Structure 1
Amino acid sequence: MKPKFYFMVMLVGSLLGLLGISKINYLSNREREFNGVLVKVEATGADAYKVEEIVTFPIERSLSNIGGIEEIRSTSEVGRSNIYLKFKESIDFKAKSIEIREKLDLVSAYFPREFHKPHILRYDPAQKPIYIASFESKTLSINDLRLYLENKIKPSLSSLEGVNLVEIAGGELEEVQVSCDPFELESYKISLLDVVNRIQDLNKNFQLGHLYSNLVELERSISFDGKYENIFDIQLTPLLVKENGKAILVKDVCKVSKKPRDSSLVSRINGIEKASVFIYGTSDSSIVLLSGQIENTINDYLRKDVSYSVHTDLSRDLFSRLKFFGVILFALGLFFSIRFKFKTINVKYFIITSLLSLFFMFFLISLLKVKVTEVSLTAFLLSLVLFYLYIVHFRFKKKNLAANFLVFFALSLLGVMFFVSYFDRILIKEYLEFCFIFFLSLLVLVVYRFYIYKESPKEKRISKLEFQKLVTFEVIIKKFKVKTTKKIAESKKKYLGNFYIFPASTLFLSILGLIYFINTDFSSKLENEGYEISAVLEFPAGTAFEYSNKITKGVEEKLKLNEGISDVISKVESDRSFIIVKFKENTKIDKALLTSLKKRAGNLEEAYLHFISDLETPLLNEFAYDLSGPDLEILEGLINEISKKLKEKDGVEDVVLRFKPSREELELIYRGDKFTHSGISISEFGEQLRTAIQGGVASKLFIENKEVDIRVRYDETFRKSVRDLSFYKVKNIFKGFVPIEQIIEIRIKKVPSKIYHKDRTRVLSFAVQTDLNAKSSRELLNSIFAVLNSDINYRLTEYSDIGNKSLRDIMFKLFFLSVLISVFLIDYKKEGSFLRIASYKEIFHFFPFFFLLIYFHQSSFGFYLQLGFFVGFSLERAFGKAILSMSVLRELFFLTLIVNLLVPPIFFSFSLLLTTMLIYLFTKRFYYQVSSRWSRGNLLQSWLEILSRIRKDINEIRDRTSKVEKNTP
C-alpha cells in the first residue's frame, strides 16, 4: 500500500475523532474503589447483642473460609447487621459472588422468621452523587412538591441506564394519624391492635359475584365499595357495638388528623430546606452522556409551574477540566507561534499536526472504549511539549538521542509499575493510562509530522520591522545580562573562593533532602477533587430524626461562616447526614483547611464527623488504630483513657473516635411467673408496645390526589417520658388489660449503639491527628497502652490501610534509590572504574532537588511529581548537557510560567508535572555549573585531589595548634 493511503486513513480517523468527542467516557479522576461487598441483614425486633449472636457471628464464620478475603469488618445494631468483605487487590470480588451467596443461604436457613434474607450489595464508602438538583414552585407546597417528585420524576430517572440510586429529599411526607387515648380504649375493652385490624378490614373493595339474566342476556357484577374517601370516613369507622345497639366509633376514642411523618429525609441548600433529588451513578456509567439524559428526563416530566436549580453536576466539573485543557492547548499554540516567528519552522503545519493528532487520539480512545481521566489529558500535553522541544532544539542532533530518552522514560515507568503492582491497583492503572496515551500521542505526532510538517528554506528573510523589534529586544536582554553577570561574579568571588563553603552547603542540603526523602509520603496521589469535599455526620442507631436534624443544621451554620465556602448542601436522615461543602474558585484544599473545618464544626459528643475524600488522611496526617478485646465496656474505657493521655502529649492535635459510643437505654425485663400467668406472649407484648409508641400502619388513604398512610398509635400526650409507661396496659387472651408495671421491670442500662467486629473479634477504632510520623505515633501509643492495660486479650493494632500505605511508601523509596544505583552501574560499565565515574554527583543533586521540591510544594511526592522527575531524569540522561543549555531551560521556564498562570486548582496536574521537571533540570544545571567552577577555582580534578587537599588543611591546622601549644608558657 502507498504511504498516501495511510495518511488518508489517519485523516479519516481524526475527522471521526472530532465528531465523536461527545461519546468519550471521561472521568474527573480514577477513583479508588472499595474492592469488596456489603452483606446486609434486617433483623426486626432484635437488639445489638442478639443481632451479633444470631446473625453476625454465624455469617462471619461461614464467609471467613472464602479465599482472597483480606479483611472482614462488621457492625451489629438494633434491627440490622452489616458485614463488609474486603478482598485483596488482585482478586475480583464479582467472581466470588456465587460462593458468597451459597454460604449465606446455608446460614440464613437458621434465622428466625422475622429476620430477612441477607442482601449482597456493591459497597463504596466514598460514593458521592453525580447529580444534585433542588426544585421550587409558586403553586405547590414543599410537601406536595416532594410527593410530585416521588411519583413522577423519580421513576423516570431510576429507569435510565447508568443510574444506580435516586433519592428524593426535602419537605415532609404526610400521613393520617389515628391518635388514641389508652383510658378510653380500656373503658371499652379495645386495644390498639383492634383499631388497626378494624381499619384494615373495612378499608377494602370487595367483588361479591355476578348476576346473569337469560331474558336480556346481560351480566351484572356485584361489588362492595368500602374504601375510605376522606378523614371523616375513618372517624365514622365502628369499632364495637354495645348491647344496647350503640356503636363505638373511632372518633369516640381517637383523634384523626393529617400530620407529617415522624422521620423523613430532609435536604437543605445553604440552610434553606428544599425538595431535592440526589442521583448516584454506577461505576461503569458515562457521566457526560448520563448527565444529558438526566436533564432531558427532568425537562420532559417537569410541570410548567415548577423550576429547578442544579447544584452538583459532575459533567460540569468535567467540562471545566476540558475547558482549561483547551485553554492550555490554545496558550501553547500561541506560544509556539510567537517562538516560531523568527525561525525557519512553519507554525501552521505544526498547529495542524497537533490538532490532527489530538483528534486521532480521540478516535482511538472512543474506538477502544477507554475511560479517559485527567491523566490522559496531561499525557497528551506532555507529548506535545516534548515534541515541540525536539522540533526546536534537537532535530539536528543524532536521532538515537530521542530514542534514548524514550528508552529511559519507558524503563522508569515500567520499573515503578513493577515495584507497586501488588500494592496499588489504582495507581498502576493510572501509570498504564499515562504510558498508553503518552507514547501513542508521540507516535501519532511523529507520523503526522512525516507527512505534513515541512521546513521552509533556511535563508528565510526577515523584514525591517521584525529586525528592529529583534534588535530592541536583544538590547534589553543584554542590559539585564550585564547586571546579573556582575552580581553573579561578586557572589562567585565571595562564596566559591572559599574551599569549604560549597561542599558544606551541598552536604547540608543533601542531609536535609535525605530527611525529607525518608519522611515524605510517596504513596498518596496528590490531586484536587475539584472545588468540593464530602463529609458524613453519623449518629447512634435509633437517634430521633429531630435531634439529628438539629445537630446537622448547627454544623451547616458553622461551616457556612468560612469565607472560602460558597455552598453547603445536606441530606439528613435519622442516623446519618451527608454534607457536601463547595468552595469558591481557586481555593486549595489542604491540611489547614480541613483542620479548620473540623474545629469550626465543634465537639460533637453524640455524632462523628468525617470526610470521605481520599485527601483527608494524608492531608490531616491521621493514623488509625484498632483496639480489640472481648468486653465492649472495657474497650470503650481504654480508648477514653488513651484519648485523654494522648491529648496531653506534644505533637498530638486531636484524637477522633471512629465508633458510636454507648448510650443509656430503657431495658424491659419480664417478671418470670407474673409474666407467664398474665396470658400474654412475649411477641404479642412487644407488638402492642411497639404499636403504642411507634405506631402501626393500618392501611392507605387516597386523598387530595395522593396516597398517604393511616398510622395508629397512642396520643402524643402519652408518649413524652418514661413515667408515661406506667399508664400502659396490654390486652391478654382473656380480653382483660394488664398494667405493664406488674409484669415487667424497667431499668436504665448503658448499651452499645453498634457492636464492631474485625476478623470475627470485637473491636473499636480511633484515629490520631499528629505531627509525628507513623513510627513515632505507634511508639507513643504502645507506651501509653502498656501502662493502662495488662490483659493479653486486649490488643492494639494499626489500621490495615496504614500498613499497606507504609509498605507502598517503602517500595516507592526503594525504587527511587534503585534509580540512583542503576546510574552508578551504567557509568561504571562505561568507565570500568568507580574512581573515574562522575555519577556520584547524583547523590548531591537528587536529595537537594527533593528538598526544594517538597519544601515549595508542601505536599507528598505524589503521582504527577513522580512523572515530572521521570521526565527530567530521562531527558538529562539521554541528552546530557544539551538539555541543560540555557535556551532549552528558558523555553521550559516560559512554558511552565504560562501553564501556572492559566491553570486553576481544578486542573493543575500538568502544572505540577512541568514544575517538577523544570526544578529537576535547573538544580542539575546549577549544581554542575557551581561544582565545575569550584573545582577549577581550587585546581581540583578528582576525588583524590579533594581528599589530599582536606588532609593538607588538617595537617596545617595541627601544625598551627602544636606551635601555639609550644609557645604557650
Structure 2
Amino acid sequence: MKISKWAVTKPISVLMLIAMILLLGAVSLVRLPMDLLPKMNIPIAVINTQYIGAGPYEIENLVTKPIEEAVAIVHNVKNIHSTSMENTSMVTIEFNQGTDMDLATLEIREKIDLVKNYLPEDVIQPIVLKVDPNALPIMIFSVMGDHLEKLQEVVEYRIKPRLERLEGVASIGISGGRRKVVDIKIDPLRLAMQGITQQQLVALLRGENINLPGGEIIEGAKTLTVRTVAEFQSIEEIKALPIPLPTGTTVKLEDLAEIDFKEEEVKQISKINGTPSIRVTIQKQPTFNTIQVTNNVYREIEELQDELTNIDIATVMDQSQFIRRSISNVGKTAAFGGLLAVCILYLFMKSLKNTLVIGLSIPISIIATFTLMYFSGVTLNLLSLGGFALGVGMLVDNGIVVLENIYRFREEGYSAKEAAINGAQEVSMAVAASTFTTLAVFLPIVFVEGMTGEIFKELALTVTFSLLASLGVSLTLVPMLASKTIKPNDTSSNRVFDRIEEGFNKINTFYKNLLEWSLVHRSMVLALSVFIFLFSMLSILWVGAEYFPEFDEGTFMIHATLPDGSSLKESEAIAMRVEKILQDYEDIEIIFTSIGGGDNYFGNHSGRTNRISIDVRLKPLKERGEETLYIMDKIRGDLNQIAGANITISNVSLVGMGFGGDAVEIEIKGDDIETLRNLSKDFIEKTKRVEGTREVVSNFTEGRPQLELYINRDIALPYGLQAIQIASTVRNLIHGATATRFRVNGREYDIVIRGENYLREGVGNFLQTPVQIVTGEIFPLEHFVEDRVSQGPNAIRRSNQVRSITVKAAIIDRDLNSVVKDIERELEVYPLPAGYSYQFKGQKEALEEAYSSLVLAVVLAILLVYMILATQFQSLLHPFTIMLSVPLAFSGGALGLLVRGIPLSVPAIIGAIVLSGIVVNNGIVLIDYINILRENKKEQKEAILIAGTTRLRPIMMTTLTTVLGLLPLALGASEGSEVQMPLATTVIGGLLLSTPLTLIVLPVVYAMLDDLRSGSQ
C-alpha cells in the first residue's frame, strides 16, 4: 500500500493528522452523552380508557374486549395484554422489534375510532401512549423540615418552580406533604330544615367567589377597564357569607356549617430514615441525557440548600450515580487492561522504544474512535466501553506484525526509511485481511432480533471503529516512528530479560518436541481434541443458562399489604417495625418509606391506606460486604417474623428494565376467574418447592370490600329522584365536593363541603343519610336503596384476549434454565381442567428468542470468516484447516464459564461470536508461514516444525495482550461489570485453550489433509 510510503516520507503530515484526530477525539469525548446502556426502542403502546362508575367486570365486557378486538389486526402486533379495573381499562400492545411506533400508534387510533361508537356513551376518549423508558424517574429526593405544612409550601412554591425551569427536566411530582383546605362540615338534616341543599350551597359559594372583567367605560379623556372584584379575602368573610333561605330571610354560613381552615385529612405518609418528609420525583425529557440533567439538578439543589437554611434535601434515588460509577469502573478496568498489554509487549520486545511505538496505537485508536462514535450517534455506555476493553488487547496486534517485519528488514541491511516502507507494505494486505476477518463476525449482530440486537450493536460498532483506527495507525504512525527510532539489535539485556528469554526457549523446545510427537500420533491428538470439545459442550448443562445478568444497583423495594380496611395508623405501625429491622443492617444507606400509596402499576388510581412501600438504597458495592441479592435474602428472613401484613421484597433495577421481565413468569390462561385463582394457588405452592425460588406470588389481587347500593326505581322515580341525584348526594356528602378555591397571599386552597363525620361512622349511620325530594320532604337513603357488601377481583387481566393470572418468582443462587426445568417437572403431572393452559413468559421467553437469533449469528459469523479466508488464501482447503480453531475456542469459552461458575447468557454468546473472529488470526499466521516454507521446497514435517517454532512468539504475544487486556473485566469486581464479565470470561477461556490446541491440532490436520491431497494426485 502506498499509504505507508507517504507516512514515512511525510512525517510532519502524519503528526498533524494525528494531532487533528486527537483534537477531534477530545472534543467528541466531552460531548459524548453517557448512559448505562444504549438507547432502546421499546415497541410497546398502552391504551388507557376510563369509564367512571363501572366495576372490573363491566370494564372488561364493555370497554376492554371491543378495544382488544379492534387493535388485534394492527400490523406487527406480537402480544396484547389488558387489565380491567374499577373505572379504568388499560390495554398494552407489544409489537415486533423494529416497528415504527409513530405509525403504529397512528394505526391504533384509527382502529379505536372505528369502534368508538360501540363503547358506552360515558366512556372518556381512549388515550394512546408509547412506552418510553425515559419516562421513568431519573431522580427521587426527600425534603425534610420542621413543619410539613410549611414544608409543602416551600416545595410547591420555591423548589418545584426552580427545578421545572432547568433544561432537560420534564416534570416534577410531589407527594407526602400536608395541604391546607377550607373545610366546611354540614349536617344534611340541619340544611333540610332550613330548606337548602348541599348542591345549592356549592353553587352559591361558586357564584360569590368570583372576579370578572366588565368591559370598558369612558371617563372624560380616559378609558377605564371595569372589573368586578368579589373573591373571598379571608376566612371570616367566608364565615359571614349571607345565605338566602326559601323563607326570604338570610343566615350566615357559619350558622349552617362548621368552617375551619386546617390541614386536609392525611392520606399518605412519606419518611426518610424514619423522619417525616416530602417526596420529590423528577422525570427528564426523552432527548436529554441523564447525566446532564442530574448535574443541572444538583447545582440547583446546592443553591436552594444555601438559600433555604431550615430544610434538608437528601437523594433517595439517582440513576446517574450508578451510571457514573459503572462507566468509571469499566473505563478504569479497560485502561488497566491496556497497561497490562503494554507490559507484556515490553517483556517480549525488550525495547522501551519499540514498545512505545506500538503502545501509542492504543490511546490514539481509542481517541479516534470517540470521533466516530460521536458522529454515528453511539453513546458512552457499558457496552461501548466494553467494546474498548474487548479491543484494547487487539489494538496492538496490527502494530506488532508491522513493527516485527520492519525490524526484520532493518536487520537485513536496509536503511531506516527503506525498512519502514518495505516492511509495512509487505504485510499491509495481510494486516488488513486479518482486521477484516475479525470485523466480519460483528456483521451478523445486525440480524439479531429484539432487545439483544439493539443493545449489542453499539458494542459491535465500537470494536469496529477502534480496530479500523488501529489499522490506520499501524500503517501510518508505526512505520513513520519506526523509521526514526528502530536500529538493528536495539534491545535491552538484563537479568530479568535473560530469564524470560531462557524460559521462552524452554517453552519453544518443549513445543517443538510435542509437535513432533503429535505429527506421529495424529489419531490420538484428534481423538483428544474431540473429547475436549464434547466435554466442554456438556459442561454448558452444568453451568445452566440465563437471559441477562442482573444488575447490582444496590437498591431494592419492600411492599407490605395489610388487610383491606386497615387504617393509616395501623399501616404506619407495621412500617415502623420494618424500618427497625432495616436499621440494624450497616450496609443500608437510605430507607425511604411511603405509606398509603397505590399498587405497583396503578398508584395514581387506587391509593390505599393499607399499602406500604419502602425503597432501600445500599452503600456502593466497594463499601459493603455482600451483593444486593444476599442482603435481600437475609432481610426477607427477618421480615417473616412480622405478623399482620403480607410483606414481599423485590430487586429494583431501573437501568436494567426491559431485560425480559421477572426471572420466572408462569402465565395461566382460562375463562373463569375463580378457577384461575385456584390454579394460581397450586402453581405458587409447587413453585415454592423448587430450590432457589423466592417471593413466589401471583398478580391476582382481591378487590376492596365494597358497599353496593342498588336503587329501587319503583320507589325513587315517583318522588322525582333519578339515580344520578342519589349517587351525587352520597358522593358529595361522603367524599366531599370542591365548591371553589380560596386565594390568600398568592396561593390557592380548596374550599370543600362535606357531610359531618357521623355519616361515615358505620353502615347504619350511612344509610340514614337524608335525601331531599322535590317537595322538600326528607327521607333516609335506605328508603330508596338496597345495600349489599361484596368483594371481587381488584383487576381482571387478559393475555391475547383470554383471561389470565401470572405467577412470578425471583431466583437466588441458581440459573434461570435449571429452575424453570425443575418447575416444569413439578407441573407436568398437574391435572389442568379442560380449556386451561399455562406457558412460561418473562425472561424464559426472552431467553429462547435471543438464543435462536444468536445461534444464527454464530453460524453466519463462521461462514463469513471462512469466505474471507478462502479469498485470502485462494483455497478452500486451508481455510477449513484454520476454521478448526473455532470449535476449539468454543470449548475454551464453555470451560471458562464452568470454572467461574457463570451461566451461559446473551453476553457470553456474543463473546463466542467475537471469539470466532479472533482465534482464526493465530491459524492464519501459522498456516500462511507453512505454505511459504512449502513453496520454498521445504519438506512437510520440516516446514511445520519451522513455522510452529518461528510463529510461537508472535502468537503468544498477541494472545497474552488480548487476554490481559480483558482480565480486569473478567474478574468483575466492580459495579456495572455484570454485562462484560460473561463476555470477557468466554473470550479469555477460548483464547487460553484454543491457542495451545491451535499450535498442535492445526499442524496435524494440515499434515493429514496434505497427505490426502498428495495421495489423490
TM-score category by the smaller chain?
0.7 to 0.9
Match of 1:790 in 2: 833
Deviation (angstroms), 1:924 = 3.0
Are the aligned partners of 2:969 and 2:981 in contact in 1 as well (CA < 8 Å)?
yes
Instruction: State which of 319, 325, 328 in structure 2 corresponds to 1:320.
Output: 325
Instruction: State which of 676, 697, 703 in structure 2 corresponds to 1:635.
Output: 676
Match of 1:748 in 2: 789
Aligned equivalents of 1:286 and 1:352: distance in 2? Answer: 32
SS at match of 1:59: helix
Deviation (angstroms), 1:752 = 1.4
Q: Normalising by structure 1, what TM-score?
A: 0.80
Deviation (angstroms), 1:35 = 0.9
SS at match of 1:906: coil
- The one-letter amino acid of 1:288's match is I
- Pair 1:433-2:461 in alignment: yes
Aligned equivalents of 1:97 and 1:240: distance in 2? Answer: 54
Deviation (angstroms), 1:69 = 1.2
Deviation (angstroms), 1:742 = 1.9
- Pair 1:873-2:881 in alignment: no
- Pair 1:776-2:828 in alignment: no
Are the aligned partners of 2:401 and 2:431 in contact in 1 as well (CA < 8 Å)?
no
Query: Gaps spanning 5+ residues in structure 1: where?
Result: 489-498, 936-940, 944-969
Deviation (angstroms), 1:197 = 2.5
- Pair 1:471-2:507 in alignment: no
Instruction: State which of 917, 920, 925 in structure 1 corresponds to 2:990.
Output: 920
- Pair 1:410-2:410 in alignment: no
Are the aligned partners of 1:678 and 1:738 in contact in 2 as well (CA < 8 Å)?
no
- Pair 1:761-2:789 in alignment: no
Aligned equivalents of 2:46 and 2:112: distance in 1? Answer: 12
Q: Indicate the larger mover: 540-549 or 516-525.
A: 540-549
Deviation (angstroms), 1:258 = 0.7
Deviation (angstroms), 1:507 = 8.1
SS at match of 2:437: helix
- Pair 1:146-2:152 in alignment: yes
Q: Normalising by structure 2, what TM-score?
A: 0.77
Match of 1:963 in 2: none
Match of 1:495 in 2: none
Match of 1:850 in 2: 894
Kindly tell me: are residues 280 and 208 of structure 1, through their superposed partners in 2, closer, same or farther at Cα, counting changes over 3 Å? Answer: closer
- The one-letter amino acid of 1:383's match is G
Match of 2:24 in 1: 16
Instruction: State which of 729, 741, 749 in structure 2 corresponds to 1:700.
Output: 741
Q: Indicate the larger mover: 394-403 or 10-19.
A: 394-403
Query: Gaps spanning 5+ residues in structure 2: where?
Result: 406-426, 512-521, 601-612, 927-947, 1010-1017
- The one-letter amino acid of 2:905's match is F
Aligned equivalents of 1:218 and 1:838: distance in 2? Answer: 98
- The one-letter amino acid of 2:915's match is F
Aligned equivalents of 1:350 and 1:632: distance in 2? Answer: 69
Aligned equivalents of 2:841 and 2:996: distance in 1? Answer: 44
Deviation (angstroms), 1:840 = 7.1
Match of 2:904 in 1: 860
Match of 1:719 in 2: 760
Aligned equivalents of 2:692 and 2:141: distance in 1? Answer: 43
Structure 1 segment 804-953 matched on structure 2, within 5 A:
804-813=846-855, 816=858, 846-847=890-891, 849-863=893-907, 866-867=910-911, 869-870=915-916, 872-880=918-926, 882=951, 891=961, 895-896=965-966, 904-907=974-977, 913-925=983-995
- Pair 1:201-2:221 in alignment: no
Kindly tell me: are residues 545 and 57 of structure 1, through their superposed partners in 2, closer, same or farther at Cα, counting changes over 3 Å? Answer: farther
What does the per-residue CA deviation read over 1:721-756, in whole Å, with 9 as the maximum and x for residues that have no partner?
333323322222222222112222221212111121
- Pair 1:524-2:547 in alignment: yes
Aligned equivalents of 2:714 and 2:346: distance in 1? Answer: 100
Match of 1:566 in 2: 589
Aligned equivalents of 2:849 and 2:724: distance in 1? Answer: 53
Deviation (angstroms), 1:689 = 0.9
- The one-letter amino acid of 1:796's match is Y
Are the aligned partners of 2:536 and 2:895 in contact in 1 as well (CA < 8 Å)?
yes
What does the per-residue CA deviation read over 1:420-445, in whole Å, with 9 as the maximum and x for residues that have no partner?
24684424533543444333442453
Instruction: State which of 463, 470, 473 in structure 2 corresponds to 1:442.
Output: 470
Kindly tell me: are residues 404 and 776 of structure 1, through their superposed partners in 2, closer, same or farther at Cα, counting changes over 3 Å? Answer: same
How many residues align? The count is: 915
Deviation (angstroms), 1:850 = 0.5
What does the per-residue CA deviation read over 1:594-629, in whole Å, with 9 as the maximum and x for residues that have no partner?
655666665997687654538699999833122222
Match of 1:737 in 2: 778
What does the per-residue CA deviation read over 1:180-207, in whole Å, with 9 as the maximum and x for residues that have no partner?
3344334434433333223222222355
Aligned equivalents of 1:69 and 1:545: distance in 2? Answer: 43
Deviation (angstroms), 1:305 = 2.0
Are the aligned partners of 2:189 and 2:770 in contact in 1 as well (CA < 8 Å)?
no
Structure 1 segment 419-430 matched on structure 2, within 5 A:
420-421=448-449, 424-427=452-455, 429-430=457-458
Kindly tell me: are residues 535 and 408 of structure 1, through their superposed partners in 2, closer, same or farther at Cα, counting changes over 3 Å? Answer: farther
Kindly tell me: are residues 879 and 552 of structure 1, through their superposed partners in 2, closer, same or farther at Cα, counting changes over 3 Å? Answer: farther
Aligned equivalents of 1:450 and 1:478: distance in 2? Answer: 29
Deviation (angstroms), 1:402 = 3.8
Kindly tell me: are residues 695 and 615 of structure 1, through their superposed partners in 2, closer, same or farther at Cα, counting changes over 3 Å? Answer: same
Match of 1:270 in 2: 273
Aligned equivalents of 1:202 and 1:161: distance in 2? Answer: 41
Structure 1 segment 187-198 matched on structure 2, within 5 A:
187-198=193-204
- Pair 1:457-2:491 in alignment: no
Deviation (angstroms), 1:522 = 6.4
Aligned-residue CA RMSD (Å): 4.9
Deviation (angstroms), 1:88 = 0.9
Kindly tell me: are residues 656 and 438 of structure 1, through their superposed partners in 2, closer, same or farther at Cα, counting changes over 3 Å? Answer: farther
SS at match of 1:453: helix
Are the aligned partners of 1:548 and 1:574 in contact in 2 as well (CA < 8 Å)?
no
SS at match of 1:15: helix
Aligned equivalents of 1:594 and 1:647: distance in 2? Answer: 17
Match of 2:126 in 1: 118
Aligned equivalents of 1:349 and 1:925: distance in 2? Answer: 26
SS at match of 2:776: coil
Deviation (angstroms), 1:272 = 3.0
- The one-letter amino acid of 1:438's match is S
SS at match of 2:701: coil
- The one-letter amino acid of 2:848's match is S
Match of 2:538 in 1: 515
Aligned equivalents of 1:877 and 1:564: distance in 2? Answer: 50
- The one-letter amino acid of 1:916's match is T
Kindly tell me: are residues 221 and 120 of structure 1, through their superposed partners in 2, closer, same or farther at Cα, counting changes over 3 Å? Answer: same
Aligned equivalents of 1:290 and 1:649: distance in 2? Answer: 44
Q: Indicate the larger mover: 728-737 or 334-343.
A: 334-343
SS at match of 2:903: coil
SS at match of 2:307: coil
SS at match of 1:345: helix
- Pair 1:68-2:76 in alignment: yes
Instruction: State which of 657, 660, 666 in structure 1 corresponds to 2:701.
Output: 660
Match of 2:615 in 1: 579
SS at match of 1:751: coil
